[in-house]
Amino acid sequence: MFAISDLNIGSYTPVGDIIALSLCIIMVILVKQTYIRKEKSRFFIIMHILAFMLIVASANIFMQTYIVKETVSPPFIYIMRMLHHVFLSMTMFLYIRYVQGSLWLLPKDKKRSRIAIAVIILSAITLDIILSVFKVGFYINKKHEYSAGLDCFEILYIVFTVNIIYMLIKYRKRLLIKVFTGLISVLVMSNLLLCIQSIFKQISYTTICCLLPMISIIFLFHSNPYNTDTGAVSSEFFAQEVKENLAKGNEMVIMCCHIPGFSVYIAKSPVLKTEFMDFFRVNIKKSILYSFPNDSFVLTFTKQKNSDYEKLVDRMLGNFAMSYAKFKIDYKIIIMESSDSVIDVNDYHNIIEYNDLKMPFNTVVRITPEDIKEYYDKNYILSQLEDIAARKDLSDPRILVYCQPVLNINTGQYDTAEALMRLKLEKTGMVFPDQFIPIAEKFNLIHNLSMIILNKTCAALKRFIEDGYIIKRISVNFSAIDLRYDSFCDEVKGIIESNGIEYGKIAVEITESRSDADFNLMKQRVMQLQDLGIKFYLDDFGTGYSNFERIMEIPFDIIKFDRSLLIESLKNSSSQYMVKTFANMFHELKYSILFEGVENEYDEDRCKLMMAQYLQGYKYSKPIPIEELTKFLLHV
């Protein structure tokens, strides 16, 4: 037996526990301020770990301080000791529970593990009490002397540590290597410090050694530092914050400001930084500022905490306008309110990005229900285009062929036409090219659509011919993206042959490209397919880019003059002379001339004066389903 007073001489000072107490209080403050992603389960675990460690440190200070005082009754020491060990055990249990959540364990495995740990803790508590009762464990006699005896909790901590390390090693492939290394390193260091402490017969730093692994999970899993220049936090937790507010029924206002190059500007300009900080100090309260890639900042606040939010927004815009007048840095501002029509929380930022791409600089846009609908319509169209591409069905019913008949001036008949593409989707109905072609090109889905249109056009041509209609050819539009496919010529040949029509019944319409690589490909493709009898149209001549030298290099059959040239020719005699000169030049070079956009007899007369051989436009017909083209065709 040892006297309690002898036990503590040189073996304990409260420094370690006081440091642990201070760290816990500081971490609670910092977590409350910076822990944006307050998922119920994880936030619950972190805050309880810190609370339990506060109890652990406090209980140890009381126990070690009063154990030397003979005036303090033993039950108080027993209670403090039990509090210290029980809450330390609970902390380790929560730590294991937290790490399990990051290792994606199956629910049954997590449940089994937690039950086993709970049983072990309860067993250790029960056994420790029994050992104390039978004076085999920790015991204080009537003379205020103590016996350390067998300590069940020391065995418990060893079991916990081994369990954690085993679990991390077993499932290490489910963690980023940096996270795995960080967790293992801290655990090893903590246990090494405990061993060193034991060698020197110290017990002062047990609490802080056990706190270190708890702090590590906050740094490794929830580090979300403020940008020192802007005070913005990472965009990673934006969706989570929106989700939690909406779950609580809190209506939100989301403001996005996109300023290209802002991070460079503010890092170099102390004046701009001061202006930025003053702006937010004056305008922003009870809100969170997020930093997104490409120098976009998103501010969120709830209407409940800012009841006069409209005045707040107007004041911010007014103050921003004054700041813009000083620095003249381009911006885009988008304002959006939470809405029941937004399906997914991630769509809030997606809708903002979608509108950002459409709007000009130095403007402010408020997202309307129509904007949200347009975004979802575009997403739906994209999903349908992806499905069409995946199915590779050349007869996909969602793709419709429309066409516009073309008047042959020499014969006075409609013996050619241009095939046009439409989409007919279940949710949106008819979708026009200006809505889906840019999407298809952006996501590299246009080639599948082009081949479907070619196949359906060939099938229609075969029906017309079999039914005795006179049709010279129908042209189909292809993009530069189509020409980049090595299989392009083989695909076109295969589709025409499979439909059993002559190659000359199909014409290919392409627009000139700025790219040297695309130009060379175009030249190769034209020469390959022209040998089979397929005609080629240069589409949209006069729409902003025309290189005559290049046009001369490619043996086009027909040059299509865009309506913009027809409008230009109406301005004055000089403009008319310029357009007429172009037409004469192509005519002399044996190209056929087709004018698009003919809307009335006056347009028609002017086109005839400018060497037109083919005319196309609303004067003759709007685009119609290809099945209705027979109304314009002669029958044998």
Nearest to 591 by CA among 575, 568, 565, 614: 614
- pLDDT tens digits, one per residue of 13-49: 889 899 999 999 988 887 776 654 555 677 788 889 9
Statement: residue 220 has pLDDT above 80? no
d(CA 214, CA 52): 11
Q: Which residue has the tokens 């997403």?
A: 379
pLDDT (0 to 100) of residue 125: 85
pLDDT for 35? 55
Q: How far apart are CA 564 and CA 544, in angstroms?
A: 10
- Is the model's pLDDT at 516 over the cut of 80? no
Tell me how far apart the alpha carbons of residues 95 and 167 are, in angstroms, rounded to a whole number: 12
Instruction: Specify the pTM.
Output: 0.65
Query: DSSP secondary structure string, 158-212?
Result: HHHHHHHHHHHHHTGGGS-HHHHHHHHHHHHHHHHHHHHHHHTT--SSHHHHHHH
Is the CB of residue 297 less than 8 Å from the CB of residue 230? yes
Range with lowest mean pLDDT among 189-198, 358-367, 424-433, 609-618: 189-198
For strands 233-234 and 363-366, give the pairing: unpaired
Contacts of 146 (CB under 8 A, 6+ apart): 1, 2, 3, 4, 7, 67, 138, 139, 140
Classified as helix, coil or strand, 271 is helix
- Structural domains in the chain, CATH included, are 2-222 (1.20.1070), 233-367 (3.30.70.270), 392-635 (3.20.20.450)
Write out the DSSP string of 520-560: HHHHHHHHHHHTTT-EEEEEEETSS---HHHHHHS--SEEE
State yes or no: pLDDT of 149 exceeds 90. Answer: no
Where do we find the tokens 């070690």? 64
Least confident of 18-22, 228-232, 337-341: 228-232
pLDDT reported for residue 462 = 96
Strands 634-635, 233-234: pairing is unpaired
More confident residue, 152 or 425: 425
pLDDT (tens digit per residue) in 50-61 = 999 999 999 989
Query: What's the gap between Cα 106 and its chain centre?
Result: 28
DSSP 35: -
Tokens of 135: 């004076």
Task: Give the model's pLDDT for residue 227.
Answer: 67
- pLDDT for 201 equals 77
- Enter the tokens of residue 577: 């002379």
Name the least confident of 30-39, 110-119, 398-407: 30-39
Q: pLDDT over 90 for what percent of the chain?
A: 41
Rounded to an integer, the average pLDDT of 405-411 is 95
pLDDT band at 3 (very low <50, low <70, confident <90, very high): very low
- Longest CA–CA span in the chain (Å) reads 126
**Distance (Å, rounded) from C-alpha 305 to C-alpha 286?**
7
Residue 227 φ then ψ, to 5°? -70, 125
In this prediction, residue 225 carries a pLDDT of: 58
pLDDT of residue 5 exceeding 50, the answer is: no
- CA distances in angstroms from 494 to 452, 482, 582, 608, listed in the order given: 12, 15, 37, 38
Closest CA to 88 of 215, 213, 216, 211: 211
Task: Say which residues have a Cβ less than 8 Å from residue 59's Cβ, sequence separation at least 6.
Answer: 80, 81, 83, 84, 87
How far apart CA 5 and CA 64 sit, in angstroms, is 10
